[in-house]
Structure 1
């Protein structure tokens, strides 16, 4: 059985800004992963099942780190590198779990970043 503890955070204004930036970066990385996978899957279906069905999550992380961060998405450097990496890993896990049910057209993703819950293992 999982048990959790609720804690109240009282961050300074600088810490609150960093929390919000981290949540925004995570949300962007998650959605970017989903968009790239949707584009790849659409190309796969349009080509009659030829080509790649998925892009590996490591390749998407490398694309974000090597291609986007240094050029058009420098704001991603303001947060820790693990934020983006974990968001892409979480999206990959969700996508793979979703495809085991084989319902690609019914995907809906909603996220809220207002509550932080820490679980003790």
Structure 2
């Protein structure tokens, strides 16, 4: 059976690891070789290559090999789909918390006015 993995899944899987998020943060400041990244994150070269491969598969990082050096830079992907997904849930939770705040305020007012609970 062929399994389709959506770009959203690849992005969130890539972002789920703190080392990969750190790599993205570092590459946001400047391009770096895999060797430099491995040293900076106190990892083996093989371990860093695996992290970079995950980021590359998600389109978040692009690599270029010149001679023996593989340089990494941020990809051009803007993550609009991921931001839209997050925004949808942020709006949902904001609405729920606002409703909860209203209930809490109502209960506080009843307590201040010594009103009985309507239950």
Taking structure 1 as the reference length, the TM-score comes to 0.27
- Structure number with larger C-alpha Rg: 2
Higher strand share: 2
